[in-house]
Structure 1
Amino acid sequence: MNAPETIRDENSTARSPEHFAARFSRMLNDAAVVIMVSIGHRLELFDLMSRLPPASSDVIAEQAQLSERYVREWLAVMVTGGIVDYDPGHRHYTLDPAHAACLTRAASPDNMAVTAQFIPLTGSMEDRLLDCFRSGEGLPYTAFPRCHEVMAEDSQQTVVAALESRILPLIPGLQQQLQQGIEVLDAGCGGGLALLELARTYPCSRFTGYDLCADAFAETAALAASQGVDNLTFEARDLRDFSESSRYGLITTFDAVHDQPDPAALLRGIAGALRPDGVYLMQDIAGSSVLENNLGHPLGPLLYSISCCHCTPVSLGQGGPGLGTLWGEELALSMLEEAGFVDIRREYLPHDPFNVYFIARRPDPRPQ
């Protein structure tokens, strides 16, 4: 009998310590650059440099109202990492427009500096994760610093900015229904920015957001109240016991199902909460449930890392199954079918290459 073939990645063809050491050195450098990109994003340094002509560290620091010594050291990382150009004769730093198109807020939804924040966020959990590895237990949402903030910023790019132009048109006639007035639920709404945008755009419809953590949507709820948006309601709710009868014309979840304590029960609850003509829109990570099918995934290591450091412990911490970030399209499709959904289809959008959009309907309960 032949031994089973071992799955290896494309970089494993050269089997020498020197080859691996060189590759790992590049990985260490790249990881360091990504952490510094996150700092630059949070301090809005890329946004500032995109507006400045070639400038010294003194000018950049003064314009940013930051310490020059720290800014100069940060710039050294950006220069050696190939992010920022440097003129040693004039000691001027420049952010190339091509790089600014991937690292500034004006570049949204293509601002990759938003995603860079996941690296230091997950790294900050190392000590607590060591305990999880040893005990098999999970962690509460409250254990993760800035998680809601970063997730909301990511959602702003992939979901909120594309609602009218790309996401809602996936469901023919939906925008007209929203104009006329329907009930809409976002289950696991997080920061609730998508709901706020919808509530502003469609005043005749009513919008509800459920999330386990009230602090996730508190800022958005306050903003809606200050703007007089009166067709939007948020509620802190554990969705493992979600059960409402034939109420909603549209239910959405955005990268939320795989984190739940009981994903199967939530999907059954969503199916029962839809009106007979209602539709369910589920955005989740595009990828396979099978590891070897993800070897070529452009963000495979990042997604599995986020899964290990956040999605899995959060689910396990609630007594859930720990499906993980890459629970995969095959399992998602199977669970939708088991929950009773029909007419299930998958859509992929060019602005959001790392997510898949499932669109499904509940069976018509009326006799055929």
Structure 2
Amino acid sequence: MTLAEQQWPDFDGKEAEEFGEKLGDIINSGAIAFMISVGHKTGLFDSMADAGPLTSAQIAARAGLKERYVREWLAVMVTGGIVLYEPGARLYKLPAAHAASLTRGGALGNFAVYAQFIPMTGAIEDKLIDCFKTGQGMKYEDYPCFHQVMSEDSDQTVVANIFDLVLPLEPGLKDRLDAGIDVLDAGCGRGHALTALAERFPKNRFVGYDLCVDAIEAACDYAADAGVENIRFEARDLTDFDDVARFDLITTFDAVHDQKHPADYLKRLRRALRPGGVHLMQDIGGSAHLENNLEFPMAAFLYTASCAHCMAVSLGQGGDGLGTMWGWETAERMLKEAGYRRVERHMFEEDPMNVWFVSKA
């Protein structure tokens, strides 16, 4: 009998070996994810897309980078099964099927955007460990490049779908926007979604609020670069938001679950709507029950994002700390308790990770 078998009567050597192999794969995949983030930020994937086999020097030249670092990065991509390699000619190629989900404007969406969360959470590891010990939380400014990453995510999940999929969820909403109404984006981040709406519907009056000053500064610059004038951004803590019957449409895109007190927040937004007003809310579509999320897309990633960011920043404000996976059931219940006459839940086949709520005042 081995020492392990003496210590653990239910020890299964074969199972232990298989689990050890699984752990090795997990660690290896984490390294690949880190380098996918590097490839995205440096434009390496984009420089290889729609190109034939290239040498490391050619790829480096196309991306404006140094060849030795690019060659080592390529070794990770080759051994990770992402880039093809011809040993004799020392040529590298990013297959079109892989570029479809690794490049800006990729046909299947750019998953490299989400790889950026790996180094970002790694950068705050020590602070997070302190939170485990103290029970305290984090601040938004603790996270490097957070709003940049979230704006890229918003471009894919919100801006790309808002006109063809999201607005039609509420019959007649496009007509009201054409005529001109008052619109608030609560938790607007860098303002990409609101600016897209302001460009399309020039008769409307758009307002974007966000807690973070750096995000609002970026939103103002983004709208100015687009030449949009029917929009105003303001850094504002919405914890005590008390506007009454001011807006006809309120949007919240991936912005409710990490609030200080989401239930109270939703009630305040409801009071800010005029009679007949609409609240469009996007959030993560996972369940409030762990056992229901075993097959949910990227569930471990989302729980990691929750622990390292969304739950932590809510707790950092002295809040409820519900986290990313607070669950569509929780969101739906809170919306109904906020006093809406009608609450509808929708999901898009193109985006199985998110849920959309349309609530009518």
| TM-score of the two chains, using structure 2 as the length reference | 0.94
Q: What CA deviation, in whole Å up to 9, does each residue of 1:224-265 have, x standing for no partner?
A: 235442210111111111111112111010111111112122
Over 3 Å counting, the alpha-carbon distance change for 1:337 and 1:15 in structure 2 is farther
**Aligned position for 1:89:** 88
TM-aligned CA deviation for residue 109 of structure 1:
6.0
Secondary structure (helix, strand or coil) at the match of 1:326 reads: coil
Q: Which amino acid aligns with 2:69?
A: Y
Report what 2:43 is aligned to.
44
Residue equivalent to 1:130: 129
Q: Aligned partners of 2:200, 2:181: CA distance in 1, in Å?
A: 13
Match of 1:289 in 2: 288
2:197 aligned residue: 198
Given that 2:124 and 2:143 are in contact with CA atoms closer than 8 Å, whether structure 1 keeps it comes out as yes
Q: Distance in 2 between matches of 1:260 and 1:131?
A: 21
The offset of 1:266, in angstroms, is 1.1
- Structure-1 separation of matches of 2:107 and 2:186: 25
Q: Hey, what's the Cα distance between the residues in 1 that align with 2:114 and 2:14? A: 32
- Corresponding residue of 2:358: 359
Amino acid at match of 1:297: F
2:3 matched residue in structure 1: none
For residues 194-224 of structure 1, what are the alpha-carbon distances to aligned partners after superposition, in whole Å with 9 as ceiling and x for unaligned? 0101111101011111100121131221232
Partner of 2:9: none
Match of 2:249 in 1: 250
Q: Which residue of 2 aligns with 1:365?
A: none
**Post-superposition shift, 1:52?**
2.2
The percent of aligned pairs where both chains have the same amino acid is 54
Contact 2:192 2:222 in 1 (8 A): no
Q: 1:282-341 CA deviation, whole Å, 9 max, x = no partner?
A: 100001101111111121100000000000110011111000000001111111111112
Q: Is the 8 A contact 2:100 2:106 kept in 1?
A: yes
Partner-residue secondary structure (3-state), 1:229: coil
Letter in 2 for 1:144: Y
Q: Could you say which residue in structure 1 is the equivalent of 2:337? A: 338
Distance 1:109 1:199 in 2: 27
* Aligned match of 1:313: 312
Is 1:240–1:263's contact at 8 Å kept on the other side of the alignment?
no
Q: State the distance in 2 between where 1:70 and 1:225 align.
A: 37
User: Could you list the runs of 5+ residues in structure 2 that have no partner in the other structure?
Assistant: 1-11
Provide closer, same or farther for how the CA distance between residues 15 and 337 of structure 1 changes in structure 2, counting only shifts above 3 A: farther
Which consecutive unaligned segments of at least 5 residues does structure 1 have?
1-12, 363-368
* Structure 1 residue 187: Cα displacement: 0.5
Q: CA deviation at 1:88?
A: 0.4
- What is the CA–CA distance in structure 1 between the aligned matches of 2:14 and 2:336, rounded to whole Å? 45
Residue 220 of structure 1: aligned partner: 219
SS of residue matched to 2:232: strand
Tell me how far apart the structure 1 counterparts of residues 18 and 94 of structure 2 sit (CA, whole Å): 32
**Aligned pair 1:112/2:138, yes or no?**
no
CA distance in 2, matches of 1:42, 1:228: 27
Q: Which moved more, 1:245-254 or 1:226-235?
A: 226-235
The total of aligned residue pairs comes to: 350
Give the C-alpha shift of residue 14 in structure 1: 9.4
CA distance 1:334–1:237, change in 2 (3 Å): same
Q: Report the TM-score, using the length of structure 1 for normalisation.
A: 0.93
Deviation at 1:108, TM superposition (A): 5.8
Moved more, 347-356 or 148-157: 347-356
Asked whether 1:24 is paired with 2:23, we answer: yes
Supply the distance in 2 between the matched residues of 1:355 and 1:283 (Cα, whole angstroms).
Answer: 7
- CA separation of 1:310/1:15 partners in 2, compared to 1, >3 Å: closer, same or farther? farther
Amino acid at match of 2:99: A
SS of the equivalent of 1:93 reads strand
1:53, distance to aligned residue in structure 2 (A): 1.4
Task: Report the equivalent of 1:175.
Answer: 174
Q: Cα gap change, 1:226/1:297 in structure 2, threshold over 3 Å: closer, same or farther? A: closer
Determine the C-alpha separation between the residues in 2 that align with 1:108 and 1:250: 31
Q: Could you tell me how far apart the structure 2 residues matched to 1:227 and 1:283 are?
A: 24
SS state of the match for residue 296, structure 2? Answer: coil
Q: Match of 2:131, SS?
A: helix
Inter-CA distance 254–21: structure 2 relative to 1 (3 Å threshold): same
